[in-house]
Structure 1
Amino acid sequence: MASLTYQLLSITVVLGAAQLISGYSFNNCIEEPYSKGQIFNCLNRKNKNMSAIISDLPPSAINLTISINHLWHIPNKSFVHLPKLQLLRLDQNNLRSIDQFAFQNLHQLKSLNMSNNNISELNPFLFKDLHNLTFLSLTNNKLKQLPEGIFLPLLNLTTLIMRQNFLTNFSGIAQSVSFLKKLRELDLCFNNLTSLSHSNVSLPKSLTVLYICRNNLSTLGCKNSFLEFVQLLDLSYNSRLPTMAFQGVDLSHINYLRLRSTSVKIVEFLNISNVTAGHVDFSGMGLKNDNMLIKLCKLLKRKVKGLTNVDLSGNWIRNLTNYTLCYCPKITGVLDLSRNKLKSLSCLKFLHTQKHIKSLRVEHNHLTSIKSCKTQDLRNLEEVSYRYNRILSVNAFAFYHTPNIKTLELNINTIAFLHRKGLKGLKRLETLRLDNNLLTDLFNNTFEDHFNLKILNLRNNRISVIFNGTFLSLRNLTTLDLGGNKITHFEPSGLDGLESLSKFYLDGNNLKQIDTSLYHVFQDTLTVLDLQSNQIRFFTENIGSPFMNLSKLSDLKLDGQRPYGLVILPRTLFRGLHSLKSLYLTNNKIYHLDSDTFDDLTSLNFLTLDNCCVGVTQLQPGVFKNLRNLTKLIVENMGIQNFSKEVFGNLTQLNTLQLNRNGMQSIQIDALESLPELHYLDIRNIALSCTCKNSLLQNWTLHNPKVQVVYLYNLQCPHDAKVKFYNFDTKVCYIDLGEYLFLSTAAVILLFTVTPLLYVKLYWKIKYSYYVFRSWFSEQWRRLRDEEENCKYDAFISYNFSDEQWVMDQLLPNLEGNGSSFKLCLHHRDFELGRDIVDNIVSAVYSSRKTICVVSRNFMSSEWCSLEIQLASYRLFDEHRDVLLLVFLEQMSERQLSSYHRMRKVMLQKTYLQWPGSDCTDPAQAQDLFWKQLRRAVKTGSRLEKEEKEQKGF
């Protein structure tokens, strides 16, 4: 373990260039999550050098987008290190210059988009290596002409888009594409072509789609067979193109021809052309009145038996009589009357002879109302669209004449009045769009006939209340959109009947609480519930969960509650949502998240808490503990101060983590390492300190081969914007640190090994040395040593409190009384008051010539007695002074004395005294002998002994 730590901390991460870094982050690009190193986006970067933007991308890249940058030049071999590239976008970059070998080595490239730049010329060999290219877009550049042979290598090209340039020479274009045997689509709209004249070349037979709209064509000028294989031809908005330009031109293969806003007279054109009349788009052909329409219809009837789709949009038609379309052949598909000036439809009486039409579009007209129509004669009509009109009201039985409509679009009008029976009779209706109107009320019989309705869109109206029984008949409805209204509440049975509802949108309303009817009505059906941008607030954390029975709910949006956010997020709010996959809580001002708030969300895959909290956020440990299936977590701008394993450690499936714009100054490595599936980490706009506490984080971001740290090499140090986080100097953090750690670890191990031995062998000696040092430090030691030769006491009596009676009754009278002149030191009598007890003991031992230890079983268990005998034995053995006397009050076995090795050592070298017990044959005599021996021992080496010897002549 120490070796691994040493290796890790010894790494020096001072690298001069990003190319040398082995980590999984990129200078100017972001890898798309879950793309496995194949999809990269390099958007809105300030760098003007192509190499600097993409040089660190891996060779596994397949899809690359480089857009909205300040690039103006692509140098040679820019993409040579990306040989697997298949899709390349270079749009919106202000490109002006592209070198000849810019795309060298891109042999697998299939799609190239260079639109919205400033390219004015192309090198003839630019596309030399792009043999597999199938799509090429040069839209919105400044090309005036094409070099000869520019597209010759692109043998697999199928789509070529060159709209919005300044091309004038169609012959050169035709020459360039004539070799493209797989080209299917060519778009030349918004150029300056004046004709389709060409030399002895022809378009590829594979070319079936040709757009030449919005040019300056005044003639076609091409050979009769030039367009013979084209199936879709758009020549619209060439205002000078006349009818006779098509004289003799083969248009027999045309499936769709658009001539909108040209000078072509449609009737005359159909007479001179071999185009199939039913394949012509009649929009924008100036068919303003009945006479022109009737002429067209009569001509069409002669040429075709029936029409599938008829587009009459943009013809300025003001009125359609009952006989206008009766001269036309039978129309079986779509009739488009959009972008005209129709003010009234008169119950669609103009269709009384066209009863086979399936779809009618009357968008972008001037309709103001839809009147009652009680005759059911248009039974084949299935789709009707009245979008983008000025409809104010829908009267009763407005669609009674079209009973089989499946799709009805009345959106984007000004409908303020919808009669209770306005939609009466539409029993087959499946999709109804009433969004973006001015509706205020819905009634219990508004949708009474719509039991087959599946999609109902009422978004962006002015509905404030959902009354009882409003949706009672909509038992098959799967999608209900009530977003953008002013709904404040639902009446008790306002949602009854919605037995199959799966998607329910209530965003942008004025709901102040989550209606309890939700979990009564939608127990087993609801999968999507959108409640964002309402006025929902909770005033207590103790509520019952309004989602408890929504067992299939998978998508829940609660973000952006007005005006202050949710503020309080009840801990029980999400109880029962075991199937929830996505949860949105952004832009709320929640002041606290309990640790069990998300406990029931065991299936959650996506959670966003972006900007959801107030000020500094302290996420509770375990707040995400049950979110083991979470793959994407957005916690941006939450004021998070700590990123710890206790908070994020259980997110074992997390792939994407967005932490940017938070307040932490450091990130714990163990927390990141506890996320085994993490591949995408965004820590932009976090003031990570460039100090030693982040040295491991720097090392991890640089050398982790698995996790992409977004724009790592652009993260700045807070103290100096010129210093980057990835290369701030960490050498000071690693100087000999590994060696120090190794030595300190070894020292600690040695200490823990030796300490028990020292404790057993040298405990009292060490303790004694400590006390001696204390005495020395307090300037007592010198004083005690000086007084050794002139001791204050003859003996210091060391005894246990339980033996005090023997000392007072026996020892004291026999040594200080009965004619004896010894002076004894006793704890209770001679210790200095207020002085530390240890200092008193040391002083007593060194102020006395002898130390008499009164040994008993209680004595041996006393710490203070042990200290006293140890001090005395130290003087005995280490200073070689005969100072210790042992008096045993009790018989002690060898086993009882075995653990007191210091005492046993004294007993082996000195004779000790045993107090005679009551079991002696003559106790009095034995005790008298005991006192004589003790007095003699105390007297040994004393002043009295010296005086006696002098008196005897020694």
Structure 2
Amino acid sequence: MDMGRNGLFSRISFCFVFTFMINTCAGFVLKDCRISRGAAICSASKLTAVPRDIPATVKSFDLAVNKISKIRADDFTNYTLLLQLDMKRNIISQIGKGAFANLRSLQKLNLNNNRLPHLEEDVFHGLSNLTELRITSNYIKTVDSNAFKPLRNLNILDLSFNRLQHLRTVHYVIQHLPNLQFLFVKKIGLTIFRSWELTNSTLSLAYLDLSQNDIDVFSISANIFQNLTWLNIGGAPRKHKMLWKVSEEKALRRVTTLDIGGHHLAQKDATVLFQSFNFSLSTLRMNAMRGNLRELINMSCTIPTLTLLQLRRNSLRLVNSSLFQPCTTVTELDLGDNLIFNISNDSFVVFLGLKSLTLSQNRLSFVPPAVRNLTRLQELDLSSNNISSLGCQDFAELGKLQVLGLYQNKIRTIKQCVFKDLTNLRVLKLQANQITKLNSAFKRYLSNLRQLKLDKNRLTTIEQGEFEGLRSLQNLSMMNNQISQLKIGCFLGLTNLTDILLQSNEIQATDITAAVFSDLVNLRRLFLLDNRIKFKNHSVLPSAPFSRLSRLEALVMAGQHSRGRCQFPVNFLQGLTNLLIFDARNTQLFPLHQDTFTYTPRLQTLDISSNELTDISPRLFDPIQNLRSLYISRTSLQSLDFLKDTNLTNLEFLQARRNQYSVITKEQMSSLPGLVYLDLQGNSFLCDCDNTWFLQWMNKTETQVFDAYNFVCNYPLHLKGMKLLDLDVGSCSIDIEFILYTSTSCAILLFQLVAFTYHFLRWHLAYAYHLFLAFLNERKYQDKQPECLYDAFVSYNAHDEGWVFRELVPKLEEQQGWKLCLHHRDFEPGKPVIENVTEAIYASRKTICVISRKYLESEWCSREIQLASFRLFDEHKDVLILVFLEDLDVWELSPYYRMRKLLKKWTFLSWPKAAPCPDLFWEKLRQALKTGDEAGGELLLLTVEERDA
């Protein structure tokens, strides 16, 4: 396919180019640039300085077409891996010292179209691996003698369109460049070229371009161009003559290509010039020459090695045999861009071996019969003439012709016999004519044709079998016609066709049927953009149009201009099992059926931009899990929520420009784990806490978010126009790290506190717990004030039960007559124990606590003494009698703070100390039971030993 035809691929650049530009390097948010295939692209971004946010891993850096005025010393410090640097079309006038010092891997540097006035010493320090340097169109007048010294590996140097003027300045440039092979010094103000000014240089030049310099004298007196093969000293036409002096016979012995276009040579100088190349020259360009062209042709054609002669822009009008009489060795003749309107029949008889003839851009009104004599001709270019018709004998005897150019003429009709003799033709160019019908011109002949171009004609209908004879055709282009009807079988016989271009016609839905494309079994690419293809509903088609194109890889249907909305039938893509690219942008789609891509499991690139979809079903993507590039710009989508339920794990590129996405969520982006490039340019973002996650994600993700620095807020109104990345979300987010720090610190402190408490205060806490329970029950009964049914409630532990029934009960009830309340005898069955205990305490005048170590360890005994102590302290009544069955140390009472306090203020009875005199013990106990309840009464000495207050 001809990649240069009329901007064809500019319409589908995203679908094809960007699919292959996705790279796997880490992504990020860049302010003015984007990253693609390891290249930083910052061109046309209005930059005034080299940006500092480009990753150091890039291999190419494009800074062209900006407003950078100075290269600072530290601009490229970190780019040790950079291979190419393009800074053309800026306003650079100064380069900081050592600015390129760290670019040790750089191979190509472009500084064209800037404002550098001078190249200072060591300006290129560090560029030891540079192979190509271009500094055209600056203001350079002077060059330091050591400026190019570091460039030991330089192979290509272009200093054209500067103000160097003197060859001595060029000498300073090239003296340190042993590997230089291509030197361009076009239009630098040279007027004299003298080889002795370069004699101190060791030159390995193979290509020297001195064109567009007004050289008056060209003098070579030393053999300094031992390897030169290409020399251009041509340029714009001039009136004065150039003096040619070559005294060294072997100086130009290896030159094979010479361009002297625009020069005015005297006959003697021309003779010297052509004698200098007598044994090597094969290509000679004498475009826009001044003086006697016939003489120059005669002299040049005496060179026995000459094979290509170019004579463009020489205002030739007539061509006859005498013009080229000596040119028997020429095999390629270019007479394009002249004024030729007549060529005599014997003009080319001398060219016995001519293989290429260019007659384009002349004034021919018919195919000159002279070409029929060129039986060895392989390429004939008759484009851009005034040819209006083709005859059956126009190309007779041209059986070896392979390329025929007839584009941009005025051809209206083609007869069936026109191409009958072109049995070896490979390429036929008929675009930009006025052809309305093909008239079966391709039904029988041109069996070896590979490429046929019929663009920009006036074709309206393609009849059945119109291309039947083109069995080898691979590329067919018929774009920009008026085709409104494709007859069934119109592509009959094109079984080897791989590409067909039908864009910009009037093709309708009824014209694309399975029968129309049935013979294109090897078709790879089908272009139907800019037609009138429209379907009204999703109804299943009885015959899917592409059902037999199983090898099709790219289907482009963008830009359908029929009125009304379009809906693809549910089986529209049936049969396209190998489809990789589907472009349906701007086709007025509304909506897409969820089963549309059931038949295209290998789809990798989908473009449905510029359609009124408003909503997309997640099920649409279920059959195309291999999708890598998705274009959904200008589709009026409100959000990307549909992505949450898709499984597009392989998606690398997402372009969703100019929609109405106000919030981007974590769930949406989490569904695209392989995303490398995200383009959300031109959306209306909400600037509040809802976009907090998106802002944080953009700064941390490996996905490159294109143009993120230019995202603006549209809501709320008071923030409209503010940059999204300038939004302060500090109050929106929770600092997880601070929370973790605080939580960890608190946990450690709590652990230490628990350990300390357990070790030092566990008994105090146990006592407080029981005290609280007792308090709750005491509050429950303190207002009831039941009648005293007993003289004393006896609180004891089961282990001390023997002493209570053997000693206490007989003495107090049987001998002294007191009425006691005992657990096993007087508690009400079925009632909660705590309630029985509380009622017993408040129904007794006194409480006798029989205390031992087992008593202190008992939970219920603890509650009983706590309840009694509440009554003692809170009611200020003398109701508590303590009887110790064992001698206890103070530390054993430490958990029971209130009991210790009680022992300091009140007396108590000790059974072990009463052993010498038990009767006194029972008497003291009787007196204690007999005393009243007033707290302020006399304290009785119940034991031998009394505690201090």
Pairwise same-fold verdict (TM > 0.5): yes
Deviation, 1:467, is 2.1
Q: In the alignment, which residue of structure 1 is the partner of 2:445?
A: 449
Does residue 1:31 correspond to 2:35, yes or no? yes
Instruction: Name which of 114, 118, 121 aligns with 1:117.
Output: 114
CA contact (8 A) 1:436 1:459 kept: yes
AA matched with 1:558: M
Q: Quick check: 575-584 or 440-449, which moved more?
A: 440-449
CA contact (8 A) 1:371 1:396 kept: no
CA contact (8 A) 1:419 1:446 kept: no
Distance 1:570 1:644 in 2: 25
CA contact (8 A) 1:136 1:160 kept: yes
Q: In the alignment, which residue of structure 1 is the partner of 2:276?
A: 274
Deviation, 1:493, is 3.1
State how 1:217-366 maps to structure 2 within 5 Å: 217-221=215-219, 223-237=221-235, 239=238, 242-248=241-247, 250-265=251-266, 268-271=269-272, 273-276=275-278, 278-279=281-282, 281-284=284-287, 286=289, 293=294, 295=295, 299=299, 302-304=302-304, 307-331=306-330, 333-345=331-343, 349-366=346-363
**Secondary structure at 1:314's aligned position in 2?**
coil
Q: In the alignment, which residue of structure 1 is the partner of 2:211?
A: 213
Q: In the alignment, which residue of structure 1 is the partner of 2:157?
A: 160
Instruction: Name which of 57, 74, 94 aligns with 1:97.
Output: 94
AA matched with 2:507: L
Distance 1:399 1:565 in 2: 49
Distance 1:200 1:539 in 2: 76
State how 1:895-906 maps to structure 2 within 5 Å: none
CA contact (8 A) 2:141 2:163 kept: yes
Distance change >3 Å, CA 258–CA 455, structure 1 → 2: same
**Secondary structure at 1:428's aligned position in 2?**
coil
Distance change >3 Å, CA 646–CA 280, structure 1 → 2: closer
Q: In the alignment, which residue of structure 2 is the partner of 1:75?
A: 72
Distance 2:290 2:472 in 1: 43
Instruction: Name which of 180, 192, 196 aligns with 1:195.
Output: 192
Distance 1:206 1:73 in 2: 34
State how 1:760-779 maps to structure 2 within 5 Å: none
Does residue 1:370 correspond to 2:372, yes or no? no
Distance 1:149 1:566 in 2: 69
CA contact (8 A) 1:371 1:394 kept: no
AA matched with 1:284: N
State how 1:728-743 maps to structure 2 within 5 Å: 728-735=727-734
CA contact (8 A) 1:565 1:587 kept: no
Distance 2:691 2:513 in 1: 50
Deviation, 1:223, is 3.6
AA matched with 1:594: H
Q: In the alignment, which residue of structure 1 is the partner of 2:559?
A: 560
**Secondary structure at 2:431's aligned position in 1?**
coil
Deviation, 1:468, is 2.7
Distance 2:694 2:403 in 1: 58
State how 1:490-639 maps to structure 2 within 5 Å: 490-513=486-509, 514-516=511-513, 520-544=517-541, 545-564=544-563, 567-611=566-610, 613-614=611-612, 617-639=614-636
Q: Which runs of 5+ in 1 are unaligned?
A: 1-21, 744-876, 878-954
TM-score normalised by the chain length of structure 1: 0.70
State how 1:647-726 maps to structure 2 within 5 Å: 649-704=646-701, 706-719=702-715, 720=719, 723-726=722-725
Q: In the alignment, which residue of structure 2 is the partner of 1:435?
A: 431
Q: In the alignment, which residue of structure 2 is the partner of 1:380?
A: 376
CA contact (8 A) 2:555 2:581 kept: yes
Deviation, 1:473, is 0.9
Distance 1:192 1:405 in 2: 45
Q: CA offsets, 1:434-453, max 9 Å, x none?
A: 01111111112455211111
CA contact (8 A) 1:421 1:446 kept: no
CA contact (8 A) 1:266 1:285 kept: no
Distance 2:213 2:132 in 1: 23
Distance 2:694 2:335 in 1: 65
Distance 1:204 1:721 in 2: 66
Distance change >3 Å, CA 267–CA 395, structure 1 → 2: farther
CA contact (8 A) 2:489 2:515 kept: no
Q: How many residues align?
A: 708
Does residue 1:131 correspond to 2:128, yes or no? yes
CA contact (8 A) 1:216 1:240 kept: no
AA matched with 1:390: N
Distance 1:565 1:169 in 2: 69
Aligned Cα root-mean-square deviation (Å): 2.9
Distance change >3 Å, CA 224–CA 508, structure 1 → 2: same
Distance change >3 Å, CA 453–CA 40, structure 1 → 2: same
Q: CA offsets, 1:342-387, max 9 Å, x none?
A: 113456x3222323111111111111122678x9643211111112
Deviation, 1:296, is 5.1
Distance 1:135 1:452 in 2: 42
Deviation, 1:528, is 0.7
Deviation, 1:687, is 1.7
Distance change >3 Å, CA 736–CA 41, structure 1 → 2: closer
Distance change >3 Å, CA 539–CA 722, structure 1 → 2: closer
Deviation, 1:110, is 0.9
TM-score normalised by the chain length of structure 2: 0.70
Distance change >3 Å, CA 371–CA 130, structure 1 → 2: closer
Distance 1:93 1:302 in 2: 49
Distance 2:457 2:451 in 1: 17
Q: In the alignment, which residue of structure 2 is the partner of 1:771?
A: none
Q: Quick check: 391-400 or 524-533, which moved more?
A: 391-400
Distance 1:530 1:715 in 2: 35
Distance change >3 Å, CA 740–CA 241, structure 1 → 2: same
AA matched with 1:626: P
AA matched with 2:95: I
Q: Quick check: 581-590 or 93-102, which moved more?
A: 93-102
Deviation, 1:149, is 1.5
Distance 1:415 1:388 in 2: 11
Q: Quick check: 388-397 or 75-84, which moved more?
A: 388-397
Q: CA offsets, 1:320-353, max 9 Å, x none?
A: 224543432333x311111222113456x32223
Distance 1:675 1:89 in 2: 34
CA contact (8 A) 2:218 2:243 kept: no
Deviation, 1:628, is 1.4
Distance 1:226 1:240 in 2: 30
Deviation, 1:229, is 3.6
Q: In the alignment, which residue of structure 2 is the partner of 1:4?
A: none
Determine which structure has greater relative contact order: mean sequence separation of CA pairs < 8 Å that are 6+ residues apart, divided by chain length: 1
Deviation, 1:523, is 5.0
Deviation, 1:414, is 2.2
Distance 1:736 1:468 in 2: 73
Deviation, 1:179, is 1.5
- Same amino acid, percent of matched pairs: 25
Distance change >3 Å, CA 76–CA 444, structure 1 → 2: same
Distance 1:29 1:646 in 2: 27
Distance 2:737 2:288 in 1: 85
Deviation, 1:104, is 2.5
AA matched with 2:213: N
CA contact (8 A) 2:121 2:144 kept: yes
Distance 2:349 2:706 in 1: 64
Distance change >3 Å, CA 125–CA 518, structure 1 → 2: farther
**Secondary structure at 2:171's aligned position in 1?**
helix
